[in-house]
Structure 1
Amino acid sequence: MKSFFTKLFSPILNLFETANTSGTPATTPANYKPSHRLILIVVGTLFTLLSLGLCVIAINSGIMGGLFPAIIFFAVGLVAVVVGSLGSDHAVAKIWGNKS
């Protein structure tokens, strides 16, 4: 099942999976901690839930302009959940701002 989702979300994962430009094999980044992955998944889930709430409010109030922030929050939440659950250690560190 994980391989199916990895193939499905490969366009998102490929943005963050590139280890380095020199072509040497990737090692675990210096600033990676397992808690970073957990925090990324939790924050991504919160953003996704926030976007769903914004959709409900925007549709019920009839203000379709409220769907724009919902789409943005959903996209950010989806990327965070996908990278946090399917991405490598290097991808998670890259989200957190690893400079290597």
Structure 2
Amino acid sequence: MKAALRKIFSPLLTPLEASEEPYHYKPLSRKILLFFGAVFTFLGLLAAWLIPEGADPGYYFPVVVFTLAGLYGLIVGALGEDRAVARIWGNK
């Protein structure tokens, strides 16, 4: 299952895993990335739920930004290799 999901999300994961530069990975980094991915996704969905009916379309900008950032963190944290997680945090 993980291999199939990695193949689906390869356009997101490949740029983070492509380099041959040395990196410094800490297992806690993955846990923090998953936690913040979940928090950002929750905040995006909460903001979508709180938008009043018939509101200005500008209200949806934070919803899109928070939800996409959270989902990106969850995808990299759950499916990415150690190098991808280290690159998200900027560890070299």
Is this a same-fold pair by TM over 0.5? yes
RMSD: 1.7
Contact 1:41 1:85 survives alignment (8 Å): yes
Residue number in structure 1 paired with 2:75 = 82
What does residue 6 of structure 2 align with?
A: 6
Q: Are 1:58 and 1:64, in contact at CA under 8 Å, matched by a contact in 2? A: no
Superposition pairs of residues 13-32 of structure 1, within 5 angstroms? 13-20=13-20, 29=23, 31-32=24-25
Question: 2:87 matched to 1:97?
Answer: no
* Alpha carbons 1:38, 1:84 under 8 Å: kept: yes
How far does residue 59 in structure 1 lie from its aligned partner after superposition?
A: 4.4
**Structure 1 segment 58-73 matched on structure 2, within 5 A:** 58-60=51-53, 62-73=55-66
Q: Distance in 2 between matches of 1:12 and 1:19?
A: 14
Percent of paired sites with the same residue: 41
Deviations 1:34-73 (A, max 9, x none): 0000000000000000000111112447233111111011
Structure 1 residue matching 2:36: 3-state secondary structure: helix
Count, aligned residues: 92
- Normalization by structure 1: what TM-score? 0.82
- Asked if the contact 1:47–1:77 (Cα under 8 Å) also holds between the matched residues in 2, the reply is yes
1:23 is aligned to: none
Distance in 2 of aligned mates of 1:78 and 1:71: 10
Q: Mark the runs of 5 or more structure 1 residues left unpaired by the alignment.
A: 21-25
